[in-house]
A = this chain, B = another copy of it.
Amino acid sequence: MTKPNEHLVDWLRDAYAIEKQAESMLKAQSSRLEHYPELRQRIDQHLEETLCQQALLEGCLDRLGSSPSAMKDLTGRIAAFGQAVGGMTMTDEVVRGAMRGYVFEQAELASYTALIAAARAVGDAKAVQCCEQMLPQELEMGRWLLDYLPDIVAAYMSRSADGRDDAKR
Contact = CB atoms under 8 A, between A and B. Distances in A.
Contacts of A142: 106
Contacts of A52: none
A37 interface: no
Given A1-B160, A1-B161, A7-B157, A107 B103 contact: yes
A92 interface: yes
A150 to B, nearest CB: 4
Interface stretch (A24-32, A43-51, A61-69, A80-88): A80-88
The main secondary structure of chain A at its interface with chain B is: helix
A150 B116 CA distance: 8
A118 interface: yes
Nearest to A106: B106
Given A110-B103, A114-B149, A84 B77 contact: yes
A85 B81 contact: yes
A67 to B, nearest CB: 20
A16 interface: no
3 closest residue pairs by CB, A with B: A81-B84, A1-B163, A117-B150
